[in-house]
Structure 1
Amino acid sequence: MSVVRGALFDKDGTLFDFAATWEAWAAVFLEGLTSDAHGAAELGKVIGFDYAQRRFQPDSVVIAGTPWEIAETLLPHMPGHSVTSLLDFLNEEAEQAPQVEAVPLVPFLSSLRQNGLRLGVATNDAEAPARTHLARAGVTGFFDFIAGFDSGHGGKPAPGQLLAFAEAVDLPVEQIVMVGDSTHDLQAGRAAGMRCVGVLTGLAERDVLAPHADAVFDDISALPAWIAAQGR
């Protein structure tokens, strides 16, 4: 097996803890779309979010879907809105979401760069809020490539973003690992011909990710040792 020279990360649930970041944000987002808690709770059901418990369902469209897919899901329940207006509101609100790092990202990413890895982010979020979140964490400069679903490469589980990363850093796909918290991430990695690592800082359980991954870890802190063991 060849060495790993590049690592491509999902953002939400991988670099940032999904539940800690987005479950509190979702309640505020839904309240912004409606006039009362009852309306927010009803809209929550539409997108797989328990408003009372502040918890996403495992099959929620928010977990692995794109903002466009979330807007399309909400549209039938939002008279007077368009997909575009909902998407604009969603992206504006998402930029304000306080991100909770899955591990301290600056030392983690610095170590990978010092070991010569090329790094990227492939998210089903829009690119603009993704860049805002990475900038707030002070880690944008560690990445050679950042793409959202709207960056021209499509969204996961299709492999477009992943293949674009491989081309951008001039690495064969066999030397890249895709790291993510959802089956969308890992299916995209497999479709691109990359190795895949799952992490449990999203909402998917180990037994859901394991069939699609070369390894599954509690969080990304275990990744450097796994990479070092490849190609020996």
Structure 2
Amino acid sequence: MGGPVGGVLFDKDGTLFDFGATWNVWAGHTLRDLAEGDVKVLHALADVARYDLETARFLPDSPIIAGTNHEAAVCLASALPGRAVGDIERHLMLTSSEAPLVPAVPLVPFLGVLAGMGLKLGVMTNDTEYGALAHLGTAGVIDLFDFVAGFDSGHGAKPAPEPLLAFARAMGLAPERCVMVGDSSHDLVAGRAAGMLCVGVLTGPAQAEALEVLADVVLPDIGHLPAWIASLS
């Protein structure tokens, strides 16, 4: 049967990649692109996105942080009268696929350690599957994952448990032998509902206090994960 853990499913943004260093930069450029030089529109976009233009960062209560690409487009459309949601959604998909990625830890050696422990590895993000594949490809780690899904891959989106259960089924693992690793309550609520072990990491906007009530453990970053998994044996 193997050890207590047989598979690890990662969130992408704020987990594999540092959220602030990657997405705060992208968001500033994207909001300005969408505003097309109109300062009033730019401030309206920043307001609905809960993005601080002065400090160039998302505020912790931003609906975009853990939402799907479609939900982000709907949010921004409220400040862009006359602009189709589908048009905004496509713009977000294409621009986010080229975001300046900053891995939370060196990913190739880290994932190699987990694979060497005999673990199946997956990614489930509320980003698009297109974006997930683009980012993992750019980071040079796409071949190290056994499962990659976005909110549009047909399994649903977090915080629903279905996409997590799809990973367990695809890997032939009972959910209780899987670990969900994420930086947001969406990730951990989904993990709990799926019956998985839940690990919170602090490389996203959420503070430890918000994650501790949902997680089995909260780690500074994913680099601490192999030692924690080994401690369960």
Q: Common fold, TM-score beyond 0.5?
A: yes
How far is the alpha carbon of 1:74 from its aligned partner? 1.5
> How far did residue 37 of structure 1 move?
6.4
| d(CA) in 2 for partners of 1:111, 1:159 | 27
Q: What is the aligned-residue identity percentage?
A: 54
For residues 25 and 157 of structure 2, the distance between their equivalents in structure 1, rounded to whole angstroms, comes to 25
| 1:25 maps onto 2:26 in alignment | yes
* Structure 2 SS opposite 1:223: helix
**2:14 paired with 1:13:** yes
For 1:182 and 1:97, the matched residues in 2 are separated by 20
* Other-structure match for 2:127: 125
CA displacement 1:200-226 (0-9 Å, x = unmatched): 000000000000000001000110001
Q: Which residue does the alignment assign to 2:92?
A: 90
Residue 137 of structure 2 corresponds to which residue in structure 1? 135
Shift of 1:160: 1.2
1:77 match: 79
Separation in 1, partners of 2:185, 2:228 = 20
Q: Name the CA distance, whole Å, in 2 between partners of 1:48 and 1:184.
A: 18
Give matches, 1:1-232, under 5 Å: 3-36=4-37, 38=39, 39-230=41-232, 232=233
Structure 2: how far apart are the matches of 1:229 and 1:125?
Answer: 32
Q: How far 1:80 sits from its partner (Å)?
A: 2.2
CA contact (8 A) 2:120 2:171 kept: yes
- Structure 2: segments with no counterpart, 5+ residues: none
1:181/1:201 contact within 8 Å kept? yes
Q: Any conservation in 2 of the 1:7–1:119 contact (CA below 8 Å)?
A: yes
CA distance in 2, matches of 1:63, 1:216: 19
What displacement does 1:36 show?
2.3
| Partner SS for 1:121 | strand
Q: TM-score if structure 2 supplies the norm length?
A: 0.96
Is the 1:40–1:51 contact (alpha carbons within 8 Å) kept by the matching residues of 2?
no
Matched residue count: 230
Contact 1:121 1:143 in 2 (8 A): yes
Unaligned runs of at least 5 residues, structure 1? none
Q: How far, CA to CA, are the matches of 1:127 and 1:41 in structure 2?
A: 30
Q: CA deviation at 1:75?
A: 1.5
Asked if the contact 2:44–2:79 (Cα under 8 Å) also holds between the matched residues in 1, the reply is no
Letter in 1 for 2:124: A
Q: Quick one: distance in 1 between partners of 2:123 and 2:81?
A: 35
Partner Cα separation in structure 2 for residue 35 and residue 171 of structure 1: 49
- Alpha-carbon RMSD across the aligned residues, in angstroms, is 1.0
Alpha-carbon distance in structure 2 between the residues aligned to 1:40 and 1:18: 22
Aligned counterparts of 2:36 and 2:122: Cα–Cα separation in 1: 40
